[in-house]
Amino acid sequence: MPLALERPAMQRLLPRLFLALLLALLALSAWQWRAGPPLQASMLALLPQGAGDELVQQAEQRMQEPLNRELLILVGHAEREQAIALVQRLGQQWAESARFEQVQWNLQADLAALRQQLRASRLALMPRADRQLLIEQPDSFIQQRAAQLFDTFAGFSLLPIEQDWLGLGARAQQALNPHQRVQTDLASGALLVEDQGLTWALLRARIQGDSFDLQAPPAIAAQVASARTLVTAEGGQLLAASGLLYAAAGQAKASREISWIGGTAILGILLLLLLSYRRLRVLVSLLPIGVALLAGCAACVLVFGQINALTLVLGASLIGVAADYPQHYLSKSWGGVRDQGNWHSWPVLAATLPGLSLSLGTNLIGYLALGFTPFPVLTQIAVFSAAGLIAAYLCAVCLLPAWLDGLQLQPAPGLLRLSEKLLAARARLLARTGNWKLLAVLLLFCAAGLLQLQTQNDLRQWLGAEPQLLDDAQRIAELTGQQPTSQFFLVRAADEQQLLQRQAALSVQLDGAVADGTLLGYRALSQLVAPASQLQPLREALQDLPQHWQPLLAAGIPEAALNTELAQLLNSDQPRLEQALAGPLGEAWRPLWLGHSAAGVAGIVSLQGLNDTAALHGIASGLDGVQLVDRLGELNSLFSATQLSAAQLKLLSCAAIVLLLCLPFGFGGALRIVCLPLLAALTALACLGWLGQPLTLFSLFGLLLISAIGVDYAILMRENIGGQAVSLLGTLLAGLTSWLSFGLLLLSQTPAIANFGLAISLGLFFCFLLSPWATPTRNTTAANEARSPL
């Protein structure tokens, strides 16, 4: 192939074939983008699927849906009426918007239906503690009820006293919303919270469709910002919480970072090329960057159906690697400066093509190794990068030499002198210390740094967060008393009654966690409909209640009225679970019911205000059909386990690279080339320890790429075409283009991306410093200088 490149026929054929492929790629991309950008904004989509079965995944989706579609707003004002007026105004405006499926700012329930269901289901709705009180201490139960009748601060009850003499409905109503601070304004129906002299009015909204369609989140965020401006102008405050707002912030951040990371990297490389080669036409060597990004996007959409915004941010770092390929032959123009010769594109390409092809092979091995991890984000990056690198290579080999043919480069001689000075400084250092002493010092540095290294596997600390959104969410949780968690229990059973029994047994354990402060509260289907096994002892206790209700008679309640209510309670049929869920009181419990399947039935127990996740693992032990679903904990454990597999992947990729390089360089030469980037990766790892930066899975995979990208520098030095100084200068230019892209990731606001950029930037820096040790012997160097294509 190298000799064939010098034939005129081949020089005409290759550009035409590549242009045909490029047109096909453009047509494919246009087809993929025909209905708009095939982008995905959800960071959660880049995480591995849970290890559970279909029912677990269904439960996770059910618990995730409110986060993806619902928006919670609190409007605060010092004047109660003004807060109500503002939330009413926002509610009416949003109700007219086509983006919202439902908007609620006031109590919209049918009070008659609420009263009817509450009265008919009083026994089933009574909390376990109240049932135990009535069964075990009926005198205390009656005395408490008698005191409530004359308590002016007892609160609003849906059932009038004459329909609830025994107070079972009042107790059930109170248990329906534990820790709930939201009260209803009787005049307007607005949902209000009083706190520190402010009245907060609540508004809930549910959007049409999905929150991660790239269109809804920015539009919803804009509406919230407009509402905040309106409320602030009226002297009020606005708090907002929703996964939609996090999605909008993530989209905006990704868009900014893609623009400035990619734009700054291209601008930096453009200036570097102009200052180095001093010819405007050399800027066509940037074309592989555009081709690489286009091919990477098209490949991801072709394989996955869409491309994630995070993949684009990390994929923007491919710019530096794609720009390296033309440097393999452009940098040989400094040999012309030294020898007073001329630089010709096709002959130089023919001489450097073996090394250029080896660089592609090693880069592909490194990037494709990412695809063997359980993380979709890394699999997408692997596909994006592999396709991009192949396209950039083909562009650099087939098209650029034709466009650069006849170009007389005038490379800056000062850069060659800098390269020679660096080599001279290295020679003086080695003359004083020798290789082994220098290696010993480096290994001591690495050992001390590794001892200080800490790992971090918490997903929440990787993705970062928006401070205002976090503050709003925490304040809303404080005001409303609602603090949902990502953990929940999945309960399976053969039928509804068994499900209710198992959830009731779980509730006993959860009540203990609430009592000791581990948990703020929970919501279970057995709270809406108590199992029949628990209702029978209650009915028996009710039959004996007349002998204990003397305090109620003394309070003036007619005995006939008490007997009538008692008969209604004993003779009424309690509703089935699905009937209770269909009623107005069942609205909050409906998402917890997963329905029937071939294996039986299943339901969810959601949690509120969890303070200690570890305490949950012992709660479900010994309970049949009860499973704790802790997606966050599962992911964090997976991250820890994957670090070991990442190290194994690194060793396997290095072995594959050694086998590839054995063909041109032999086993000894291949081993030397691979050991240098491995040592660079080890030094970068030690630097993370010295800098106090944690080792995350992303930084580990960044170091995995070092073994592939760093080999490129060692190959340039090993081939030594044009001399050692020219080869080192080519390595320097390749390193600078990579640093301009990977180094800019350091400035990302997403900790995982910044950590990835830091690790790989440090690794590439040490790869450059160590690359001269790949230089062959003096005799081989002289032979390579003699076969310079210039």
| pLDDT tens for each residue of 725-758 | 888 888 888 888 888 877 788 877 777 778 888 8
CB distance 525 to 499 below 8 Å? yes
Res. 589: pLDDT tops 80: yes
Task: Tell me the mean pLDDT in the region 235-263.
Answer: 81
Task: Tell me the mean pLDDT in the region 637-647.
Answer: 70
Handedness of CA 320, 321, 322, 325 (dihedral sign): positive
Most confident of 225-239, 347-361, 576-590, 623-637: 225-239
CB distance 350 to 772 below 8 Å? no
Copy the structure tokens of residue 204.
């809930």
**Amino acid 155: pLDDT:** 60
Largest CA distance in the chain: 119
Res. 789: pLDDT tops 60: no
Write down the residue that tokens 């549910």 correspond to. 206
The CA angle 300-264-371, to the nearest 5 degrees, is 25
**197-207, pLDDT tens digit by residue?**
899 999 999 88
Strands 307-308 and 39-40 turn out to be parallel
- The secondary element (H helix, E strand) that includes residue 179 is none
Angle between helix 751-770 and 697-719 (nearest 10): 20
Q: Confidence class of residue 597 from pLDDT cuts 50, 70 and 90?
A: confident
- For 518-556, b where at least 16 C-beta lie within 10 A, e where not — what string? bbbbbbbbbbbbbbeebbeebeebbeebeebbebbeeee
Report which of 546, 598, 565 is spatially closest to residue 169, judged by C-alpha positions: 565
How far from 701 is each of 369, 650, 690, 745, CA to CA, in Å?
9, 9, 19, 14
Sequence spans of domains, the chain: 4-36+279-331+353-406+413-451+634-786
**150-183, pLDDT tens digit by residue?**
765 556 677 888 888 888 888 888 777 665 677 7
Q: Confidence class of residue 339 from pLDDT cuts 50, 70 and 90?
A: very low
Write down the residue that tokens 């994006």 correspond to. 384
Task: Tell me the mean pLDDT in the region 465-486.
Answer: 82
Report which of 280, 282, 490 is spatially closest to residue 404, judged by C-alpha positions: 282
Which has the higher per-residue pLDDT, 438 or 783? 438
Q: What are phi and psi of 184, to 5 degrees?
A: -105, 130
Please give the Cα distance from 168 to 568 (Å, whole number): 12
Write down the residue that tokens 């105004």 correspond to. 89
pTM of the model: 0.72
Task: Tell me the mean pLDDT in the region 79-105.
Answer: 89
**323-335, pLDDT tens digit by residue?**
778 887 787 777 6
Kindly report the average pLDDT of the chain as a whole number. Answer: 82
**Percentage of the chain lying above the pLDDT 70 cut:** 89
**Amino acid 457: pLDDT:** 66
Give the list of residues 6+ apart from residue 163 with CB closer than 8 angstroms, or none.
115, 119, 169, 565
